[in-house]
Amino acid sequence: MIFVTGGAGFIGSNFILDWAAQRREPVLNIDALTYAGNAENLAAIAAAKDDGTYRFEQVDICDEAAVSALFATHRPRAILHFAAESHVDRSILGPAEFVRTNINGTFNLLQCALAYWKSLDADEAAAFRFLHVSTDEVYGSLGPDDAPFSETTPYAPNSPYSASKAASDHLVRAYFHTYGLPVLTTNCSNNYGPFQFPEKLIPLTITNALEGEPLPIYGDGKNVRDWLFVGDHCSAIALVLEKGRPGEVYNVGGMNERTNLEVVHTLCATLDALRPKPSGKYADQITYVKDRPGHDRRYAIDATKLTTELGWKPAENFETGMDRTVRWYLDNQPWVAHVKDGSYRHWIERQYADRGGADDATVEVLEGHPT
């Protein structure tokens, strides 16, 4: 069995769906179901037959007793740590939760994993892995002509979010060098794709465009990001888990640098083609808003180590990934509506009301293979 923390979130749920479609190894999804944790993302799995290969546990990663109990009960061969507060704007307004979840939560997982790892026999201990999923934002900001971030780029986080992730990265590294815990770290560029919470640029642009709302652009819109389709990120994580060298860091990038303004114009053009407005163009809704404090100008990832050492490459380019993403949101308007009106937060109670689990801190979910 593998553990996935934050598996009801955007990247975590995509990873679990991809894993379930390709493998039969059991997965335990550990998620506290905060505002961005949406168990409805995994409805395809929950609706399938129960063969014990997928479970869900509503547990806070800061809860040492609960996490330790999960290790003792399920005895995983790996833990993939996605759980994190990740929205920069929210970290500016309320940094305390980012410190709690991203730093304290990671520390607690490391402590529990270390105690569990020490209890394993020699072969099990050698095979165990703790894979920590992080971000390129820990490296700070790049100038227009700077080389992309590599695994040796010095850390220079500029927001409470990126600072909390940098701290968690350092903790993971320390547990390898101090205790020998076999850890792996991935630092990814900006993800996009199905199930992304609509506070982020791409889903916000799609949903606002369809509703006739303004399409907000920070500052001059020339902030550059390297855009990575979430499915490509998931394939990279699975490969690092399988073949990565303990103690190593692997950067994952989409090799698609675009300004925020280019991204929004691409989305508008795609919507114009797939669902045209009665009059005018979606780009007519673009509006500029005051830039956020400490807004990094450019991120870019050098994924050479991942491609040359492990043989990974993205399956999607910018155009194909954006087309797939827009089509998914157009085809899944009920999901968008549930997220925007908050009803997704009641899905877990509805799903398990007749199974006696809705009122428990721990809920088991049935396994299946998504289409």
Instruction: Give pLDDT tens digits for 101-139.
Output: 999 999 999 999 999 999 999 999 999 999 999 999 999
Q: Does residue 90 lie in a domain region?
A: yes
Once rounded to an integer, what is the mean pLDDT over residues 48-70?
A: 88
Distance from C-alpha of 228 to C-alpha of 318, rounded to nearest angstrom = 8
Extract the tokens encoding 275.
């669902």
Q: Which of 326, 327, 344 is nearest to 335 (CA)?
A: 344
pLDDT at 281: 97
Q: How far, CA to CA in Å, does 304 sit from each of 5, 188, 255, 310, 363?
A: 27, 13, 10, 10, 41
pLDDT at 175: 98
- Marked catalytic residue, from 18, 57, 137, 296: 137
Q: Does residue 337 lie in a domain region?
A: no
Q: Catalytic annotation on 124?
A: no
Extract the tokens encoding 102.
């991203």
Q: Which of 166, 258, 279, 271 is nearest to 210 (CA)?
A: 271
Q: Does residue 286 lie in a domain region?
A: yes
187 pairs with which residues across the strands?
Answer: 134, 251
pLDDT at 338: 86
Once rounded to an integer, what is the mean pLDDT over residues 55-74?
A: 97
Per-residue model confidence as pLDDT tens digits over 226-265: 999 999 999 999 999 999 999 999 999 999 999 999 999 9
Q: Does residue 369 lie in a domain region?
A: no
Residue 131, φ and ψ in degrees, nearest 5: -105, 120
Distance from C-alpha of 83 to C-alpha of 98, rounded to nearest angstrom = 11
pLDDT at 174: 98
Q: Percentage of the chain surpassing pLDDT 90? A: 77
Distance from C-alpha of 333 to C-alpha of 340, rounded to nearest angstrom = 10
Once rounded to an integer, what is the mean pLDDT over residues 298-325?
A: 96
Q: How does residue 47 score in pLDDT terms, banded at 50, 70 and 90?
A: low
- Collect all residues with Cβ–Cβ distance below 8 Å to 305 and sequence separation of at least 6: 150, 151, 250, 251
pLDDT at 258: 96
Distance from C-alpha of 160 to C-alpha of 90, rounded to nearest angstrom = 9
Per-residue model confidence as pLDDT tens digits over 179-223: 999 999 999 999 999 999 887 899 999 999 999 999 999 899 999
Distance from C-alpha of 318 to C-alpha of 297, rounded to nearest angstrom = 20
pLDDT at 113: 98
We report the CATH number of the domain holding residue 249 as: 3.40.50.720
Range of the domain at 220: 84-331
Burial 282-309 (b: 16+ CB within 10 A, else e): beebbeeeeeeeebbebbbbbbebbbee
pLDDT at 361: 29
By CB atoms closer than 10 A (0-12, 13-18, 19+), residue 65 is: exposed
- Marked catalytic residue, from 116, 161, 175, 344: 161
Distance from C-alpha of 145 to C-alpha of 170, rounded to nearest angstrom = 28
Q: Catalytic annotation on 137?
A: yes
Query: Which H helix or E strand runs over 81?
Result: strand 78-81
- What does DSSP assign to residue 298? B
Kindly report the number of other CB atoms within 10 A of residue 273's CB atom: 10
pLDDT at 36: 75
Q: Which of 128, 148, 138, 141 is nearest to 169 (CA)?
A: 138
Q: Catalytic annotation on 341?
A: no
Extract the tokens encoding 65.
């007793």
pLDDT at 199: 77
Q: Does residue 343 lie in a domain region?
A: no
- What does DSSP assign to residue 215? E
Q: Does residue 368 lie in a domain region?
A: no
Q: Does residue 246 lie in a domain region?
A: yes
Q: How does residue 86 score in pLDDT terms, banded at 50, 70 and 90?
A: confident
Distance from C-alpha of 28 to C-alpha of 72, rounded to nearest angstrom = 13
Once rounded to an integer, what is the mean pLDDT over residues 28-43?
A: 89
Q: Which amino acid is at 26?
A: P
Q: Does residue 46 lie in a domain region?
A: no
Number of compact structural domains in the chain = 1
- What does DSSP assign to residue 167? H
pLDDT at 344: 57
Averaged pLDDT of the chain: 89
- Marked catalytic residue, from 18, 40, 136, 257: 136
Q: Decide which of 292 and 274 is more confident.
A: 274
Q: How far is CA 282 from its chain centroid?
A: 28
Distance from C-alpha of 346 to C-alpha of 351, rounded to nearest angstrom = 9
Contact 168/161 with Cβ under 8 angstroms?
no
Distance from C-alpha of 250 to C-alpha of 310, rounded to nearest angstrom = 10
pLDDT at 197: 86
Q: Decide which of 36 and 343 is more confident.
A: 36
